[in-house]
A and B are shown apart, each in its own frame.
Chain A
Amino acid sequence: MIPMDTELRPNASIDPLMQERLARLAERRTGGAGSSSSSSGSRHTTAPSAQRPASRKRHAAQGSRTAAVMMSVGVAAGLTGYFQRADAAAAADAAAASSATASVATASTAATTATATQVLATSTASSGSSGATDTAVQTATDAANTDAAIASAATVSATGLADGTYTGATDTNKWGPVQVQITVSGGVITDVTALQTPSDDGKSVRINNQAVPILVSETLAAQSADIDSVSGATYTTDSYKVSLQSAIDLAKATAQQAAA
């Protein structure tokens, strides 16, 4: 980019062809070929601003520059508004989906509790051959398979958690669904896996790639859903806690049923 007044300065480094071109430009700017100073070398000297024509513009493309500024600001504002509206719509959809998921999760939790009860009843009866028991076990198993909560084994420890693998309910926030699965061994949460995290856009993926490992390590340290939020991943943290708590509740419910 060359300053507008470059052609008015004497500059020995500019080649003759360029000087000639600059002279033509300066001639055009001052109002045409008839100008009295057009043939002299004085064109290459800086003219005092007081001698410049009053109508001369500071920028040759003043109007176009203004248009570019207005267009840029307009496009940026328009895109910002568009992103805002699109996210608001997505958040509304997510909220609706989340409430639906919550209903399913509640039903699933109840079904799982029923499973544990029936399994225990069956094992207690040892020869439980009644048709009602079979039906109940089958129904509860089907219900458990429909969603997240699959509790395996029933080794209960003092921590109140039955050994096994438990999948928490799916909690959907404005960025997408979050679902957690925990593995309990010896009454201790030994592993946490995020089965679902928001992945609709690059920003969510980047945030979750950072946040989930932190949340997992916090969970393993705390052995509960009472963990700190990860800065910059508030929504993911909140949903993670909800899903984690439901998985822990399943483990506890299974343990209580086994104890009973």
Chain B
Amino acid sequence: MNDFLGYVTRSTGIVATLLMLASLAWGLLFSARETGTRLRPAWWLDLHKGLGGLAMVFTGIHLVTAFADTDLGISLATVFVPGAAGYESTAFTWGVLAFYGLAIVVFSSWPKLLFRTRRTWRAVHLLSVPATVLACVHAYQLGSDAGTPAFRVVLVLAVAAVMYPLAFRVINVVAKTRQAPTRS
């Protein structure tokens, strides 16, 4: 049984990380208005939310199976308290922080917006970027499959795929910041 839980932990961890990256890419493209004309913005937004929620679900399964796998010896404190792990403490901490970041981002937007002002919501929503980065570092440092070439290729490709919308979004923000004084 432990073996099966270990396999599920590994697979859901990988899928959750990829979903976080995909959701981040979708969100950045949407917020940068780089969604093209073929598909409605509502489609991008809806899929972005769907991917984020799905990442949360898979992260939840990842945590539950990791805790249930007694071979791993992961305690509740390890799962929820940064730095509580008896071994590989740093790598576990990145994972815990990524989990909290993802949870805050998802649950501050669903089922309804937690913050009255859009600016506050947006600031909190920016947590998704460091959360995704931490999830990738956690996967790389702690993943049982991190040493395999296939895992590294997939991770590098997925991160590279997020770089374009991230760069586009940053340029977009910088351009808007420069334009702001002239608009007012």
- Please list the residues of chain A having a beta carbon within 8 angstroms of any beta carbon in chain B: 1-4, 6, 13-14, 25, 28-29, 59-62, 64-65, 68-69, 72, 75-80, 83-84, 87, 201-203, 206-207, 209-210, 231-234
Known: A76-B12, A203-B72. A68 touches B112 (CB 8 A): no
* A68 contact from B27, B54, B142, B146, Cβ within 8 A: B54
Chain B stretch 11-46: residues in CB contact (< 8 A) with chain A: 11-12, 14-15, 18-19, 22, 27, 40-46
Task: Tell me the minimal C-beta distance from B182 to chain A in angstroms.
Answer: 15
Task: Tell me the minimal C-beta distance from A210 to chain B in angstroms.
Answer: 6
Q: How far is the CA of A2 from the CA of B143 in the complex (A)?
A: 33
* B7 contact from A64, A75, A84, A232, Cβ within 8 A: A84
Q: How far is the CA of A211 from the CA of B72 in the complex (A)?
A: 11
**Inter-chain contact A79/B15, CB cutoff 8 Å:** yes
Q: How far is the CA of A131 from the CA of B41 in the complex (A)?
A: 93
Q: How far is the CA of A189 from the CA of B117 in the complex (A)?
A: 69
Task: Tell me the minimal C-beta distance from A243 to chain B in angstroms.
Answer: 20
Q: How far is the CA of A4 from the CA of B19 in the complex (A)?
A: 21
**Inter-chain contact A83/B11, CB cutoff 8 Å:** yes
**Inter-chain contact A202/B142, CB cutoff 8 Å:** yes
Q: Which of B10, B18, B86 is most buried by chain A, counting CB atoms within 10 A of its CB?
A: B10
Q: How far is the CA of A36 from the CA of B95 in the complex (A)?
A: 52
Of all chain B residues, which has the CB nearest A15? B118
With a cutoff of 8 Å between Cβ atoms, the chain A residues found around residue B165 in the complex are none
Q: Is the interface of A mostly helix, strand, loop or mixed?
A: helix
Task: Tell me the minimal C-beta distance from B47 to chain A in angstroms.
Answer: 4
Q: How far is the CA of A61 from the CA of B43 in the complex (A)?
A: 5
With a cutoff of 8 Å between Cβ atoms, the chain B residues found around residue A68 in the complex are 19, 22, 47, 50-51, 54
Q: How far is the CA of A72 from the CA of B12 in the complex (A)?
A: 9
* B47 contact from A61, A77, A83, A232, Cβ within 8 A: A61
**Inter-chain contact A13/B118, CB cutoff 8 Å:** yes
**Inter-chain contact A13/B117, CB cutoff 8 Å:** yes
**Inter-chain contact B42/A69, CB cutoff 8 Å:** no
Of all chain A residues, which has the CB nearest B47? A61
**Inter-chain contact B118/A79, CB cutoff 8 Å:** no
Known: A1-B27, A87-B3, A206-B87. A201 touches B109 (CB 8 A): no
Closest 6 CB pairs of A and B: A79-B11, A1-B109, A60-B42, A232-B73, A61-B46, A65-B50
**Inter-chain contact B46/A28, CB cutoff 8 Å:** no
**Inter-chain contact B143/A202, CB cutoff 8 Å:** yes
B8 within 8 Å of A (CB atoms) = yes
* B116 contact from A2, A13, A64, A84, Cβ within 8 A: A13
**Inter-chain contact A75/B15, CB cutoff 8 Å:** yes
With a cutoff of 8 Å between Cβ atoms, the chain A residues found around residue B7 in the complex are 79-80, 83-84, 87
